[in-house]
Amino acid sequence: KSIASQAGISTLVTTTFWGQYQWTLMQKLLSEHNTWLENNQRTQEIITVPEVAVLTGSVMQWRLFGYFTYYQTQIMTDDKHPLYPLLLALIDDEADRSQQDVRLWSLATDFSRVFGRYLNHREEWLTLWSEGKALDVETLVAEKDKLTLEFDKYAGMTPEWLVAHYVELEAAQRHLWRLLFASVYEHRSSIERRFWEVMTKDSSETGVDIKSILPTQLHIFTIQQLPQNELDFLQRLSKHLDITLLHYNPSQLFWADIVDKQWLQRQQVINPESVFLRDYGH
């Protein structure tokens, strides 16, 4: 840091993940826009932006845990409840309350992680669930099995009991999402829509000087993957400032099919059709 203070270059002083930076950017821009709306007596158009990003993993985890614990008795007395099959396997009358809380906390952790992934990769599912519409799980599984068989003729179909479990799991996720997070998700979407409205309009219509808020350039480092919705956001943002995306990749070619040599030799004997695209080496 001492050298950087003289040379003007520093790194790893603070680490800001993209989600946090994106939220801060929208918050800063819309805060100024909302002030302009207030001054022009257009308060009905104001969209409030919370200080903390909504639908973070920890927020969802606590809301899920609170729901599981508060409505536990109600769920367990209704075998038609979407969460009944899941909680039935976790709730034990002989176990003490602390053990059950640990299990419910673990379940809340799993659901929050799944929903976090859906926010990046399955927005179309969340939109359907917000509208109370179910996914056609059986069709999705059938399409997956068909694709698998095209590459591995020895692969089996998904057993019926597992498909039934997936159907139950989708119903539970749909119930939890619509009840606990759908309204917040819509508010988050409205914040992003308003952000782009302000970005694309003249400052005389929004009261915001975009150049004074946005940096002149932005450098983003991504290690393994970048969700499509984040890439789309960056692409739109790049029309307003210079963005450099640094992506770590040890090869110019797809490298995830490089496997262990002994494993590959064994699979070439017992299951050759499923590993013809694999290779070993550096």
Average pLDDT over residues 203-210: 90
Average pLDDT over residues 251-256: 72
Q: What is the mean pLDDT of the chain?
A: 89
Q: What is the pLDDT of residue 50?
A: 87
Average pLDDT over residues 212-221: 90
pLDDT over 90 (residue 31): yes
Residue-wise pLDDT for 164-206, tens only, equals 999 999 999 999 999 999 999 999 999 999 999 999 999 889 9
Q: What is the pLDDT of residue 15?
A: 77
AA identity, residue 40: N
What confidence category does residue 3 fall into, taking pLDDT thresholds of 50, 70 and 90?
confident
Decide: helix, strand or coil at residue 54: coil
Q: Look up the pTM and report it.
A: 0.79
- CA angle, corner 220, sides to 216 and 226, nearest 5? 135
Q: What is the pLDDT of residue 25?
A: 93
AA identity, residue 34: N
Please, are residues 116 and 106 in contact by the beta-carbon 8 Å criterion? no
Q: What is the pLDDT of residue 95?
A: 63
What confidence category does residue 92 fall into, taking pLDDT thresholds of 50, 70 and 90?
confident
How far apart are alpha carbons 217 and 225 in whole angstroms? 22
Closest C-alpha to 132, from 87, 170, 75 = 170
* 5-14, 80-89, 195-204, 213-222: least confidently modelled range: 5-14
- CA angle, corner 80, sides to 78 and 83, nearest 5? 80
Average pLDDT over residues 242-260: 79
How far apart are alpha carbons 147 and 127 in whole angstroms? 26
